[in-house]
Amino acid sequence: MKELVEFIAKSLVDDPTQVRVTETEGNREIRIELRVAEGDQGRVIGRNGRIANSMRSLLRVVASRKGVRSSLDIV
């Protein structure tokens, strides 16, 4: 799941070298934290959060297949 978020984020931003993704696994939950350059945050979030919500939806599908919950934080 980390690779999926990283691939999507690097495709969207101007500076893909600044993309950092960390994955923390807990009790039946996976938390993914996405960090991008400050100027690229708007590109990753999208208008009205549409891109961020789409990434969260994709993560939910992948997580449900594994039987866990997921969350995505963009910082």
pLDDT digits 0-9 by tens, 34-66 = 999 999 999 999 999 999 999 999 999 999 999
Strand partners, 69: 29
All residues at 6 or more sequence positions from 12 whose CB lies less than 8 Å from its CB, including other chains: 40, 43, 44, 51
Query: What residue ranges define each of the domains in the chain, with the CATH number in brackets?
Result: 2-74 (3.30.300.20)
Q: Are strands 29-35 and 20-25 parallel, antiparallel or unpaired?
A: antiparallel
| Residue 74: predicted pLDDT | 94
3-state secondary structure of 47: helix
Whole-model pTM: value is 0.89
Strands (DSSP E) found in 29-74: 29-35, 69-74
Q: How confident is the model at residue 73 (pLDDT cuts 50, 70, 90)?
A: very high
Q: What percent of the chain has pLDDT over 70?
A: 100
Are residues 12 and 33 in contact, defined by beta-carbon separation less than 8 angstroms? no
